[in-house]
Chains A and B, each alone.
Chain A
Amino acid sequence: NAGVTQTPKFQVLKTGQSMTLQCAQDMNHEYMSWYRQDPGMGLRLIHYSVGAGITDQGEVPNGYNVSRSTTEDFPLRLLSAAPSQTSVYFCASSYSHRASSSYEQYFGPGTRLTVT
């Protein structure tokens, strides 16, 4: 299994541009989440999904959109990039509590985004 994969690894955007960060998992996990990591802030939840067609906001959702059309994929869209969105973005997935007693999230390698 490849686990959780993210593309691209690095991206530089200009203010106002839009882009999509890709995330895919091959573990048949129901749950998927997006976090951003900033120095001294830990990881903060942006959006999450508990299954195909179901998404919800996390702690810092503004400026980001998500959709979940398949179990495997959970893309994160930046609508109009701002310098405040410069960060490292991590995608994670996990089993639902009904499917497994595993509970932990599995993380992708991250995407480092710079907005100038």
Chain B
Amino acid sequence: AQSVTQLGSHVSVSEGALVLLRCNYSSSVPPYLFWYVQYPNQGLQLLLKYTSAATLVKGINGFEAEFKKSETSFHLTKPSAHMSDAAEYFCAVSPRGGSEKLVFGKGTKLTVNP
């Protein structure tokens, strides 16, 4: 069975600092991987996705993630945090050919301090 582990339920950074949110997955074959963002009292919005093309994936709002098969990781980064990045971030995995079933991590709440 597939699973996702997000290290750190809360991450706090200063405005302008590097953002690093960690995600490790467990899957017998390379899956599809996603990062979603959820702002307070809203639904989930796709940040970026890995579907077996380039291993370095660029998303919206300056975020990017790198798929590392050897480390079974898909960490999310942003060089310089902005106050508007404060939100909860979810890493998710789906089997190839199975986009109807996402398995989510437990989420990481990002706080950006002025």
- Residues on A lying within 8 angstroms of B by beta carbon are 31-33, 35, 40-45, 48-50, 58, 90, 92, 94-97, 101-110
CB < 8 Å A-B pair total: 68
Supply 26 A–B pairs (Cβ within 8 Å), ascending by A. A31-B100, A32-B100, A33-B101, A35-B102, A35-B104, A42-B90, A42-B104, A42-B105, A42-B107, A43-B92, A43-B102, A45-B103, A48-B101, A90-B43, A97-B96, A97-B97, A97-B98, A102-B99, A104-B34, A104-B46, A105-B99, A105-B100, A107-B36, A107-B44, A107-B45, A109-B42
- Contact A90–B101 (Cβ < 8 Å): no
- Contact B106–A101 (Cβ < 8 Å): no
Interface residues of B in 10-68 (CB under 8 A from A): 32, 34, 36, 42-46, 49, 51
A110 / chain B contacts, CB cutoff of 8 Å: 42-43
B43 / chain A contacts, CB cutoff of 8 Å: 90, 107-110
- Residues on B lying within 8 angstroms of A by beta carbon are 9, 32, 34, 36, 42-46, 49, 51, 90, 92, 94, 96-107
- Contact A104–B100 (Cβ < 8 Å): no
Q: How far is the CB of B93 from chain A (nearest CB, A)?
A: 11
Give bound CA distance, A103 to B34, whole Å.
10
Residue in A41, A45, A105, A108 whose Cβ sees the most chain B Cβ within 10 Å: A105
- Contact A58–B99 (Cβ < 8 Å): no
Q: How far is the CB of A10 from chain B (nearest CB, A)?
A: 11
B32 / chain A contacts, CB cutoff of 8 Å: 103
B42 / chain A contacts, CB cutoff of 8 Å: 109-110
Residue in A40, A94, A103 whose Cβ sees the most chain B Cβ within 10 Å: A103
